[in-house]
Amino acid sequence: MKATKVLVGRPGTTVANKTGSWRTFYPVLDNEKCKSCGLCALYCPEGCIIVEEQPGQKKKKYTPDLDFCKGCSLCAAICPAKAIEMKEEEK
């Protein structure tokens, strides 16, 4: 039996692979509507929702890192406050 070569990528994270350039939609967060539940960051498959503490406030600020966001819209679908809207990317 003849052996065949198989190409396999090295494991890693998307931090080394910017993927935002090929998405069709991107998330826009309305921090006024946001309830700081953290579900968007938890469910994001790329982990590209940045969570920032706001000095003197309980509420956190959530910001998508658009360099790594693939536009899957899971964050918008899971948001109970409907604080995330998907906008069409302009090319």
Is the C-alpha dihedral spanning 9, 14, 15, 20 positive or negative? positive
Can you tell me the mean pLDDT for 4-19?
58
Using an 8 Å Cβ cutoff, are 86 and 26 in contact?
yes
- Please tell me which residue, 7 or 68, carries the higher pLDDT value: 68
User: Could you tell me the CATH number of the domain that includes residue 43?
Assistant: 3.30.70.20
Residue 81 lies in a domain: yes
Q: Residue 27 — pLDDT band, cuts 50, 70, 90?
A: very high
Whether 67 is in a domain gets the answer: yes
Considering only residues 62 and 23, tell me which one the structure prediction assigns the higher pLDDT: 62
The pLDDT tens digits for 33-58 are: 999 999 999 999 888 899 999 888 88
Into how many domains does the chain fold?
1
Per-residue pLDDT of 56-81, as tens digits, reads 888 899 999 998 898 999 999 999 99
Residue span of the structural domain in which 59 resides: 34-86
Does a structural domain hold residue 52? yes
Around 48, how many Cα atoms within 13 Å sit in the side-chain half-sphere? 24
Q: Is 45 domain-assigned?
A: yes
